[in-house]
Amino acid sequence: MLTAYTSDEIRAAERTLMARLPDGTLMRRAASALAVACVNVLPRVYGSRVVLLIGSGDNGGDALYAGALLARRGARVHAVLAGRTAHEGGLSDLLRAGGRPVDARDGDIAADRVLADLVGRADVIVDGLVGIGGAGALREPYASLARLTAGAPGVVVAVDVPSGVDASTGEVQGEAVAAHLTVTFGAVKAGLLVDPGASRVGTLHPADIGLGPHLPAPDVVALTGADVAGLLPRPSAVSDKYRRGVVGVVAGSDRFTGAAVLSVGGAVRAGAGLVRFASAAEPVAQVRARWPEAVTKVITPGEGVRDVGRVQAWVLGPGMGTGDEAHALARSVLGGDVPVLVDADGLTVVSRDRELLRREAPTLITPHAGELGRLLDVAPAEIEARRLHYARRAARELGVTVLLKGSTTLVAEEGRPVRVNVTGTPWLATGGTGDVLAGIAGAFLAGGLSCYDAASCAAYVHGLAGRLAAGGPEEGEAPIAALDVALQIPAAVRALTASA
């Protein structure tokens, strides 16, 4: 399991460790790890051009010491001094090694052709402007330097965290460095895993400097493939379809039949022992044609789900509509005593009547930013900007488990660490993939997983299936459809269990 921490937690651990070490030891460890990372992205060190962007904090010191190590190996190193001060020991070490300072504290950086040429010709640009203590928008000249890196052809290496990214939350206000590689020291910072900050990280390289024993229990984690493989429901020699889990799906309508096919497909392919599907006549006909394994029932307006049959969990909402009939269906499903996953149109229904979520049995909601915005009365753009904050708030206020979909999928439950999903591909941003995800999670719920584990495992498997459907760097990625993802679920599970 990958664990992540806030900047306050990291700093507290650093203080504890530094009290036991000779002065400067921790910075030297960080600088050494940073220098090695830079060496690894350079075709050769001798004669290479390295530009250090130096702020006033300790991460600027890390960059200066690393620059000195590179200069001693023959690199041509320039340190762009952007802060009011620079780390005295680090700057002295760089100068002794032959590095050259460039003062960027005064003047118009955007019009400084010398500085632009320096950055533009660099093989590696080391971002040591703002460290984990930075919050809010970058000020000048840092903001202009961040913009300058965006057009540079060299490899941008961030020190601990890309400048402009909040290390604790991933929030970005204004300009931010977009790194190709982020070398983070001691432990992963939570903001490096959560968008919008995560999209600025590039390749994440954690460097061990000895903080581990001094860190608290994490508030943000990411499951590995081995973690997910260990949680997935698996049949035993005595299993039958009922022991493996029966999931009920209420989805689709005469207008939206595809959502029914895709959500049922997600459940079938994810290993549900039995899928019971209830809806209007047309989606029932479509599901029968595509997934004959499902037991189907046509329900009439006002009938509810009382005669559908016993299930261990429900999936409610994809394509079901949002009118009075949908509200009655939602009330019928949520009035039961088994776990319920609420998705898509179901979320619109409960956003108008949040009392439907006040139930004793476990509830999992799977919104995107717009749907969560309706539930919390918050603009979707605000949700996207502060994903970690609003996922936690929704779990607390609504009393449910939240799977917040998007470029970074988060799973939040009150009193538990937020789980960040690390699988997926941008090609998953296409219609219907969320319906497949709902079906996967519903199958895992029916198989006995908690909402927290079912959501986490479903997000991981869904992302992995998306990657398999899209292809990879070797064969070239290609567009995918939602059904492609459903069909790749067994391959994704097979890959997980084979490597566990």
142 is an annotated ligand-binding site residue: yes
CA–CA dist 262, 302 (Å, integer): 25
180 is an annotated ligand-binding site residue: no
74 is an annotated ligand-binding site residue: no
270 is an annotated ligand-binding site residue: no
Question: Residue 70: what are its φ and ψ, rounded to 5°?
Answer: -70, -40
258 is an annotated ligand-binding site residue: no
Q: Give the DSSP letter of residue 138.
A: P
Contact 225, 496 (CB under 8 A): yes
Antiparallel, parallel or unpaired: β 418-420 and 410-412? antiparallel
289 is an annotated ligand-binding site residue: no
484 is an annotated ligand-binding site residue: no
321 is an annotated ligand-binding site residue: no
82 is an annotated ligand-binding site residue: no
406 is an annotated ligand-binding site residue: yes
134 is an annotated ligand-binding site residue: yes
Write out 229-271 in H/E/C secondary structure.
Answer: HHHCCCCCCCCCCCCCCEEEEECCCCCCCHHHHHHHHHHHHCC
160 is an annotated ligand-binding site residue: yes
Rounded to a whole number of angstroms, the CA Rg of the chain reads 26
Question: Residue 197: what are its φ and ψ, rounded to 5°?
Answer: -65, -40
343 is an annotated ligand-binding site residue: no
Contact 365, 438 (CB under 8 A): no
407 is an annotated ligand-binding site residue: yes
135 is an annotated ligand-binding site residue: yes
Sequence-ordered list of residues with C-beta below 8 angstroms from that of 14, at least 6 positions apart, any chain:
26, 186, 211
60 is an annotated ligand-binding site residue: yes
CA–CA dist 444, 453 (Å, integer): 8
212 is an annotated ligand-binding site residue: no
Residue 388: both structure tokens together? 């970690």
377 is an annotated ligand-binding site residue: no
Contact 131, 58 (CB under 8 A): yes
Angle 357-414-344 from CA coordinates, rounded to 5°? 40
Question: Which amino acid, residue 455?
Answer: A
Instruction: Count Cα atoms within 13 angstroms, Cβ side, for 146.
Output: 25
107 is an annotated ligand-binding site residue: no
219 is an annotated ligand-binding site residue: no
133 is an annotated ligand-binding site residue: yes
55 is an annotated ligand-binding site residue: no
SS3 of residue 407 by DSSP: coil
448 is an annotated ligand-binding site residue: no
Contact 379, 389 (CB under 8 A): no
421 is an annotated ligand-binding site residue: no
SS3 of residue 145 by DSSP: helix
408 is an annotated ligand-binding site residue: yes
CA–CA dist 500, 492 (Å, integer): 13
Q: Give the DSSP letter of residue 488.
A: T
132 is an annotated ligand-binding site residue: yes
Q: How many CB atoms lie within 10 A of CB 73?
A: 15
Sequence-ordered list of residues with C-beta below 8 angstroms from that of 222, at least 6 positions apart, any chain:
1, 2, 4, 193, 419, 420, 421, 422
Q: How many CB atoms lie within 10 A of CB 414?
A: 14
Annotated binding-site positions for AMP = 405-409, 434
Annotated binding-site positions for (6S)-NADPHX = 58-62, 131-137, 142, 160, 259, 319, 368, 435
Annotated binding-site positions for K(+) = 59, 127, 163
Annotated binding-site positions = 58-62, 127, 131-137, 142, 160, 163, 259, 319, 368, 405-409, 434-435
